[in-house]
Amino acid sequence: MESGPSKIGEAVAWWLVPPACREEILGDMRERYQGPARYFLEAAHVIPCVIHSRICRTTDAVVALMEAVSMYTAFLMATWWLDRAMLLDARTFAHLAIPPVIFLAATILADAYSDPQKRRPLKPVFGPTIGFALAYIVQATLNQWALSPSVFAWGSALSFLLVSTLRLTFPPITDRPQAANAPAFWQKLELAPPSLSLKIALLPCGILLAVILYLLGK
């Protein structure tokens, strides 16, 4: 019997397991190794459970709900300003939900896969940036479900600004001070000040807005 999993199989598992629990999970799987087939079956069962557990640890449900509502409102407002006739079609309200879902999913996964040992000043806006890129790719591949370029551009810009503000005010759970039996972060009357200056926080938002204005002006 082989002494351990193949380098390729373990490398794939290494990329799929979140960094916060990567060493422990891969070490346990290596100790229980009984062949390629069993290793694959165990990875297919363990890794989704680990990702789900990590999401539960890094995502505040209330903050996620605020982000979802703010993003959907941003796209609804952009449609109301730029193409109000679209709102006469009931299917438009489902179309408007596609970019916010992609934004939120990318943000949640970015928090789950973030390395708690690495503290970066712009870490809270990394997830929304990835979400914007993925939403743009999905919109480019859609046909009848795609939003108009102007609605998507302005909706994305407003969503990015709103979500970035929320995440700077309510940072991911892993970046907050931990205390036993403490109330939820959003329940506290006093909000902890952001760990970065306002100029640095608004820098990516300003760059994104400038790019969108440039694209709309072409």
Domain co-membership, 147 together with 79: yes
* pLDDT given at position 172: 66
Q: How many angstroms separate the CA atoms of 189 and 183, rounded?
A: 10
3-state secondary structure of 161: helix
Do 106 and 71 form a contact (C-beta atoms < 8 A)? no
List the domain range (segments joined by +) for residue 146: 60-217
- Rounded-to-integer distance, Cα 47 and Cα 39, Å: 11
- Domains identified in the chain, total number: 2
Tokens matching residue 110? 């970015």
What pLDDT digit, counting tens, does each position of 24-49 carry?
Answer: 898 888 888 888 888 899 999 999 99
| Residues whose CB is less than 8 angstroms from the CB of residue 149 and which lie 6 or more positions away in sequence, other chains included | 215, 216
Query: Could you tell me how far CA 85 lies from the centroid of its own chain?
Result: 31
Cα–Cα distance for residue pair 84/29, rounded to 1 Å:
55
Radius of gyration of the chain (CA): 20
Ranges of residues in the chain whose predicted pLDDT is under 50: 1, 178-199
In a domain, 185, yes or no: yes
The answer to the question of residue 211 being in a domain is yes
In a domain, 2, yes or no: no
How many of the other CB atoms lie within 10 Å of CB of 107?
A: 27
Q: For 171-190, how does the pLDDT look when each residue is reduced to its tens digit (9 = 90+)?
A: 766 655 544 444 444 444 44
Instruction: Name the nearest CA neighbour of 191 among 199, 201, 183, 200.
Output: 183
Q: Are residues 87 and 30 in the same domain?
A: no
Q: Identify the pLDDT of residue 92.
A: 84
In this structure, the answer to whether residues 177 and 200 fall within a common structural domain is yes
